[in-house]
Amino acid sequence: MNEEPKNTPPTQSSEASDKHTQEEEKARKEGELYLRKFFSAARRFVGKRLSIIDNADPKATIEGIENDVEFKGFNLWILIFSIFICSIGLNVDSDPVIIGAMLISPLMGPIMGVGLSIGINDIELLKRSLRNWGVAVGMALAASIAYFLIAPDFGTADNLLARTQPTLLDVLIAVFGGAAGILAGSRKAKSNVVPGVAIATALMPPLCTAGYGIATGNMLYFLGAIYLFLINSIFISLTTTLVVRYLQFPLRKLADPAKERKRRRLISAILVIFILPSGYVFYSVVSKAVEEQSINTFIAEEIHVDGAVMMPPSIERLGDETVVTLSFIGEQATPELIQSWERKLEQHDLDHVVLNITQYADRDDYANGEEMQRIVTSMVETQKTMEGKDREIERLRSLLENAREAGLPAGLIDEIKINNPEISEVYAGQLQLSSARQDTICTLVIKFDENLEMTENTSQAIKTRLASWIKIRLESDTVFITEL
């Protein structure tokens, strides 16, 4: 007779396993709960720390920016002096002098005024800000041009060259600088952030460089520098507008609903006009940065010549094409290898890039080639400088010839040459100073003999002696002497 199987109870090990699983599930849920509480507390902590709306002072901020918008009297003179200081710093390539000029410049006022006016729908403030911005830019350019017309030529400094082409960093600095500026101005407890913003955004150097471009007749410098200045101004104003809207500054409203709607449409149109070129500029600058990164990646991954050293590449944009110049020292790259590089450009989305390969047998050969390129560039720059000086000489000669009608003693020039054999050429005349009063000044343009070794102290002593002699000879109080 078969016995029925008996039901065996769960083993002790399975009971332990179930208990362990339950404990794990409980621990997991508790862990998730603690994690949610932690992130919730961290979010509240960070949110409280980063909160700025409650700490803003809209009324005081608006009043402060409105006061800084106006450019007349002290503000205008401070701007002019800071432009002169910045121009000197650029001319001698001195960073501390440039920074000092940016510290005292009041140029941020109307730029932030434009952003604030758009943010609070204030048409009158917008008009006033734009008008004063125009006055500030005009006076700054005039001061810069005046300085570079009379300043000694120290050559094209690196600080001047750096202000002729905007980069992605310039755009980002303008954005973050504008945000820091309006936040510093909006807080209830004021700080000294704004001077730092003025330094970071570097509004002054591009304006001075634009003046340098006009003074020297170099329109590429002028256009590049003024473009950089406009980009900085636009992005600072745009960031100011966005921060003002985020801080919920009170909007200016009109009693007449029809006029209010019209003003809002106008502000919206201005904002769109503001944003579109800003977006285009940002896209262009970012595209350029991405392209340069792609080119550098392509060079790192694909370009290699056994037994040769590659010098730092040069990237130049010519219309729709980008020319990348690669210089090698040592073993020569074969035509087949160069062709393979050109085929691989498409794989890196660089089909618009043209490779310009230059190869040198050794470092001396490379140095000679680089030196020749520098000589050619220097000759071109020297030729441009000489042409500018020739035009200035012709202008002075023309002025002096026209001024001769005012009358000078016959034989005066011969007397000057006899008494001063170091002088080879003399142009003299009476220049009229004022059209209202017939004030004139005796003006001499002299040129020393090029065969003589003339120190600055010697030439200055001769000019001082000549000026004293002319004053006695003509019974004049004032004499102006300049040197070719």
Mean local confidence (pLDDT), 90-111: 79
Decide: 119 and 75 in contact? Cβ < 8 Å: no
Task: Give the span between the Cα atoms of 44 and 25, in whole angstroms.
Answer: 29
What is the pLDDT at residue 163?
61
Tens of pLDDT, residues 334-382: 888 888 888 888 888 888 888 888 877 665 555 555 555 555 555 666 6
What is the pLDDT at residue 165?
65
Report the top-level CATH class of 58-252: mainly alpha
What value, to the nearest 5°, has the Cα angle with vertex 90 and ends 85 and 94?
85
User: Quick one: residue 480, left, alpha or beta (phi over 0 = left, psi -120 to 50 = alpha)?
Assistant: beta
More confident residue, 156 or 282: 282
pLDDT at 437 over 50: no
Tens of pLDDT, residues 185-199: 666 655 444 554 555
What is the pLDDT at residue 126?
87
pTM of the predicted protein model: 0.54
Largest Cα–Cα separation, the chain: 159
Q: In CATH, what is the architecture of 389-483?
A: 2-Layer Sandwich (3.30)
SS3 251: coil
Burial classification of residue 132, based on how many CB atoms lie within 10 Å of its CB (0-12 exposed, 13-18 middle, 19 or more buried): buried
SS3 114: helix
Spatial CA neighbour of 157 closest among 221, 217, 100, 220:
221
Question: How is residue 187 annotated by DSSP?
Answer: B
- What is the topology classification, in CATH, of domain 304-378? Alpha-Beta Plaits (3.30.70)
Domain range list for the chain:
58-252, 304-378, 389-483
Token pair 């603690």 is found at 34
Q: What is the chain's mean pLDDT, rounded?
A: 75
Tokens of 407: 């009358």
Mean local confidence (pLDDT), 61-70: 83
Cα dist. 26→23, 33, 34, 35, 363 in Å? Answer: 5, 11, 12, 14, 73
Spatial CA neighbour of 311 closest among 366, 257, 385, 390:
366
pLDDT at 143 over 70: yes
Which helix (H) or strand (E) segment holds residue 129: the answer is helix 123-150
Question: How is residue 250 annotated by DSSP?
Answer: P
Mean local confidence (pLDDT), 132-161: 79
Task: Give the span between the Cα atoms of 41 and 47, in whole angstroms.
Answer: 10
